[in-house]
Amino acid sequence: MTKIFRTAAVLVLALLTLGLCGCANYIDLADRAIVQAIGIDYLPDKKAYRISMQYFNQSSEGGQNQIDKTQDNVLKSVGEGDNVFSAAKNASLLTGKDLLLSENRLIIIGKELRKYDLEQTMEFFIGNFHSHPQAYVAAAENTAEELLDIRFKEGSTSSQRLSDLIRNAASEGRCRYSYPYQVMTMLCTGTRSAFLPLLKAAELETDVTIPKQSGNDSGKDGKEQSKNSETTIILDGGIVFRDGVELFSADAEVSTVVFFLTDRISEYSFTVPLEKYAKPSVTLNDISRNITVTEKDGEVTFNVFLKASGKIGSRGNINEGDITAVRAVTETAEKELERIVENSVISVAGKGCDVFGLENALRRCCNKFYNENKDRIGEVIADSDCSVSVDIDIFSLGLNTA
């Protein structure tokens, strides 16, 4: 009897297992469009969203490089719709495949789209559980599609070039990593502010010397300069958002200060405006920051303190053992960094915008005042003062100027 029960149990379990297999929503990888980059634009004349996406061509056997048109490894699909979701769906239908965003490297926001709520656009990526959590988010100077259409001679596709560009700039302290969840977190502040690095198309000119007939009596060949150009992409500053929409375009210094005050920078180099010593460059390491807030009779002051160690990258005409020169470079470097930080904070905060984490500092340091004024936090930030202090400990040629 026991043997019969065991046999029956095995049969029931087998039937249940077969039934569960039919319930799984399985899609083969070959039926997926493995997306590498997505550009989102808004078409005001059509009142429609347009998505451009680069995706991996799985049927390709591979060309000599990733842009070899005989075996194109990267394909493009576009779709339009009343919202981001429908535009993405239409782009997917044109590929004949389901979108797979887990390998997506880059999200580019076009110029016209930045006039509308950025949070609504980002919801597509935050709400999509297939979306890569560390895809870079950036803004395009014009259309996002324009950037994704650019190909490069060395063979890298736009998605590779652009993601590498942002990553390298972040490693040098020139812009902050901007992942979808970070952008959404910034948009959840009282001012609904955010900052995206700005990507631009640019012409890279190269001079090529070619021989020519000089036309002189000697009959010797002369030389001629020929200019060639290649369309490339550069990172230049960024876009500041307030209330979820574009407020203004910021320069590279603001981009750096956003990184300084909201993230951890491993290294940062800049030129010290000291003519006497041929404008030496200084490389900073171990950069730390602290923002405190003081409030008196409704007047708010944000106190920014930066501390770093570093070295003189280019000596210029500084002689070995010249302690006076090293100290002069240190003092000037501190003043220059104070200028960069103070001007950047004032230019952005003065517009009632917060991309530096000022609201969090106010909540932490002056909680009672913050709770009483959180409904007008943008106005409080716009009317605030800023004080910046920088302490740099430079080691150069074995000299410590601390």
Among 217, 250, 283, the domain-final residue is 250
Instruction: Point out which residues pair with 392 in neighbouring strands.
Output: 308
Do 237 and 148 have their domain in common? yes
Among 194, 218, 250, the domain-final residue is 250
pLDDT tens, residue by residue, 343-352:
999 999 999 9
Do 273 and 245 have their domain in common? no
Do 217 and 189 have their domain in common? yes
Cβ-proximal residues to 305 (8 Å cutoff; 6+ apart), any chain:
289, 290, 291, 292, 388, 389, 390, 391
Q: Which segment, 96-100, 174-178, 187-191, 268-272, is predicted with the most confidence on average?
A: 187-191
191: pLDDT strictly greater than 90: yes
Do 269 and 360 have their domain in common? yes
Mean pLDDT of the residues in the chain:
82
Mean pLDDT of the region 391-395: 85
| DSSP assigned state of 69 | G
Do 179 and 275 have their domain in common? no
On whether residue 383 sits in a domain, the answer given is yes
Whole-angstrom Cα distance, residue 233 to residue 69? 21
How many structural domains is the chain composed of? Answer: 2
Among 193, 217, 250, the domain-final residue is 250
Q: What is the pLDDT of residue 24?
A: 47
How would you label 235-264 residue by residue, b for 16+ Cβ within 10 Å and e otherwise?
bbbbbbbbebebbeebebbbbbbbbbbbee
On whether residue 304 sits in a domain, the answer given is yes
On whether residue 123 sits in a domain, the answer given is yes
Do 273 and 359 have their domain in common? yes
Q: Which segment, 34-48, 52-66, 308-322, is predicted with the most confidence on average?
A: 34-48
Whole-angstrom Cα distance, residue 127 to residue 139? 21
On whether residue 21 sits in a domain, the answer given is no
Do 140 and 243 have their domain in common? yes
Q: What is the pLDDT of residue 74?
A: 77
On whether residue 4 sits in a domain, the answer given is no
What is each CA distance from 78 to 39, 53, 112, 334, in whole angstroms?
9, 6, 17, 49
Alpha-helical regions (H) of 96-221? 118-127, 144-148, 158-171, 180-187
Do 228 and 275 have their domain in common? no
On whether residue 216 sits in a domain, the answer given is yes
Do 243 and 316 have their domain in common? no
**Percent of the residues in the chain that have a pLDDT greater than 70, as a whole number:** 77
On whether residue 22 sits in a domain, the answer given is no
Do 162 and 92 have their domain in common? yes
Helices then strands, counting H and E runs in the chain, come out as 11, 14
Do 215 and 268 have their domain in common? no
154: pLDDT strictly greater than 60: no
Q: What is the pLDDT of residue 324?
A: 83
The structure's pTM equals: 0.81
Q: Which domain holds residue 244?
A: 29-250
387: pLDDT strictly greater than 50: yes
Do 246 and 284 have their domain in common? no
pLDDT class of 98 with cuts at 50, 70, 90: confident
- Assess contact for 53 and 35: CB atoms under 8 A: yes
Q: What is the pLDDT of residue 270?
A: 87
On whether residue 200 sits in a domain, the answer given is yes
**Percent of the residues in the chain that have a pLDDT greater than 90, as a whole number:** 43
Alpha-helical regions (H) of 135-216? 144-148, 158-171, 180-187
